[in-house]
Structure 1
Amino acid sequence: MRRGKMLRLRRGVYVPAEVWLRSHPSERYRLAVAAESLQNPNAVFCRESALSIHGLPLLAVPRQIHLRVASRGSVRTSRQTPLTGSVSKAEFLRRARLAGVIDETEVPPYALRGFDTARHLDSGGLTQSEKQGLDLPTPAAGSEVQENLVVNVEPLALSLVDTAVRLPFAGAVVLLDAALHGAPARAPLDVAQLGEIADVQLSARRRQYLKRLLHFASPLSESPGESLARVRFHELGFAPPQLQVTLQVHNKAYRLDFCWEAVGVVVEFDGWLKYRMENSTFDEVYKQEKIREDAIRSTRRTVVRIYWEDLMEPHCRRLIELLTRAGVPRMA
């Protein structure tokens, strides 16, 4: 640590500074979860921590590690001790550069901010746990950081109900869409199952909020970006689109992200991730996207491309302009 090569995530649990600093904030969060489990092997993760372990997308990286406890006396929040120990963040980064751990690229202050630990009492009497593997960032060559760790976690449905009703509408919909859609390693959840848990665990007010969320959520959304786009359309007063409509053009099927058939408008969400896929060059993927877009336009439909920046922009001015110009109808 004094040489700028290691960071302390929890007492007795360290990570190479290179691994931490090159990781995405969501990966840093999972490293902190792993550190909590290594320090406390009996810990049962709940809320956002559990959902991250289960592989559900979180619209924002949590600020805390969430644990379930059995007694009211154990409910508390523990502050994260400094990752750099007694060395200041600025001095640690200076030493890390001298040691060749990081280059001269500016490191944002939040990169060396850890995560507090919040312990929550189960109010619904449904405390359960299961074993799950926690995927971690690939460590630097020669380090001893584990790439996968088995931890104790609350079941997905229980954690989802407990968490969704505590989040703003957009973040909750992103989670519920993903849970209802499922994944290769995760079967889709059933709405009825979530309702049964809500009847036991939630207050009347939160049950009503969950009912509203489930009415809006859809298993047809295939990515967090698509889910957030649907929320933005709704918030901005645009009519709800048809989802995943299949269009046949020249004997080839194209599945559309969003479509307003009555006005012939197609909206495609582009998260840029596909341009970084392995075994594909940017030119190859871009070419396929151009062929796809030309095919859709050949049916006399208007195609609008939107990006994460459009969904996150304050007041979504560009998104409003794009949809209005294309003729997307407003809600009655």
Structure 2
Amino acid sequence: MLDILDVPNAHNDGLILAESLWAAGLNTRAVRALLANGELVRIRRGVYTLGATWRGAESDDRYRLFVRATVATAEQPLLLSHLSAAALHNLPIIGPWPNVVHAINNETAGGSSARFTTSHRSVVEPEQVVIDGCAATTLARTLIDVAATSSFLVGVTMMDHALRVEAERAENERRMGIPGAAALAKEDLYAELMMVNPRRGGPKVRRIIDFSNLLSANPGESMSRVRMAELGFEIPELQVRFVVHGREYWVDFYWPRVRKIGEFDGKIKYTRGAILGDRHPGEVVVVEKNRENLLRPEVNSFDRWDWDTAYSPRLFYEFLIQHNVPRA
């Protein structure tokens, strides 16, 4: 039945507005039938998406759809901020996304919450960027706002990711001879913090900037590093190079004082993503095992841990103790 929607402007990058349904000749009963059989999913009143799109979406994609649906139906233009802006900037989160949309609105008295929107006041008028047709705070401002209002873990994870992706972007543009903006750096974040001067959370933001590291290759590595700091363990060097039989190998973590290698094994490495490519997961596991066998003679110990271990402070503490990771 939804073939009738395959007309210009019926789909808005995954969103289907109620007006498109009515314009396509569907009535309330037909829409209810589509909802009942799963062909349509209501994101919020007046905005829908295809059931297949929703079922195939990760939590990040679902939250982005919810944010964009809220913007599309807002009575006044929204300037997205905090975690909602972070979602549009494609920043990763550890833990759930909120069930509301965050926006800057200086007409609210000290910040306010509605059913779908949480508004924040801003002493400094934020710069804006447009992402997927939505106005949002800049990447630097978004990182400062998130760091001030979220956990140390969430702040570090997003900041690590942003610094790494920005460095990679700038380097790729340089190699291709494309003139582009300089990569976002810690100095920019310190300057943004001074300008924003949040009423709460300023010292925590500075600690997050201090601790952030663009060498963290993924959220799991960022989380591991945060847990080590929280639990009182020595922070290792990141992305350390080893040369074995004339070949280069890079490891996630290295404690030079005790000559220990540590590796975070995210399931994504063996299921999907650039590391897997067109290879079978079993082939990747064999390659990783052979790599480990080559590196083990170069150090005193080589340990691996997974997401579930690092996510639990208790499990990770027990793991680090059992494997003689040095204390800070």
TM over 0.5: yes
Distance 1:205 1:37, change over 3 A: closer
* 1:324 matched residue in structure 2: 321
- List per-residue Cα deviations over 1:42-75 (Å, max 9, x = no partner): 3221111111111111112322211222422695
Name stretches of at least 5 consecutive residues in structure 1 with no aligned partner. 80-115, 134-149
* 1:120 matched residue in structure 2: 120
- Aligned to 2:189, which of 184, 191, 194? 194
Distance 1:282 1:208, change over 3 A: same
Q: Is residue 148–residue 201 contact of structure 2 (8 Å, CA) maintained in 1?
A: yes
* 2:135 matched residue in structure 1: 152
> TM-score, length-normalised on structure 1?
0.76
- Partners of 1:290 and 1:253 in 2: CA distance: 16
- List per-residue Cα deviations over 1:193-251 (Å, max 9, x = no partner): 22222223224763322222222111211111111100111112111111111011111
Aligned pairs for 1:120-139 (under 5 A) are 120-122=120-122, 124-133=123-132
- List per-residue Cα deviations over 1:127-162 (Å, max 9, x = no partner): 2211123xxxxxxxxxxxxxxxx3211111011111
- Partners of 2:320 and 2:220 in 1: CA distance: 16
Q: Match of 1:72, SS? A: coil
- Partners of 1:246 and 1:232 in 2: CA distance: 23
- Partners of 1:217 and 1:157 in 2: CA distance: 14
- Partners of 2:208 and 2:110 in 1: CA distance: 32
Q: Is residue 190–residue 209 contact of structure 2 (8 Å, CA) maintained in 1?
A: no
Aligned pairs for 1:250-265 (under 5 A) are 250-265=245-260
* 1:169 matched residue in structure 2: 152
Could you say which structure has the greater relative contact order, defined with CA pairs below 8 angstroms and 6 or more residues apart? Answer: 1
1:10 lines up with 2:44 in the alignment: yes
Q: Is residue 181–residue 221 contact of structure 1 (8 Å, CA) maintained in 2?
A: yes
Cα deviation, residue 16, structure 1 = 2.3
Q: CA RMSD in A?
A: 2.2
* 1:20 matched residue in structure 2: 54
Q: Match of 1:243, SS? A: strand
Distance 1:216 1:301, change over 3 A: same
Cα deviation, residue 316, structure 1 = 2.5
Cα deviation, residue 192, structure 1 = 2.1
What letter is aligned with 2:288? Answer: E
Give me the identity figure in percent.
30
Q: Paired residues, what number?
A: 276
What letter is aligned with 2:146? Answer: T
- Partners of 2:32 and 2:52 in 1: CA distance: 15
Distance 1:289 1:132, change over 3 A: same
Q: Is residue 10–residue 39 contact of structure 1 (8 Å, CA) maintained in 2?
A: no
1:38 lines up with 2:72 in the alignment: yes
What letter is aligned with 2:326? Answer: P
Cα deviation, residue 185, structure 1 = 4.9
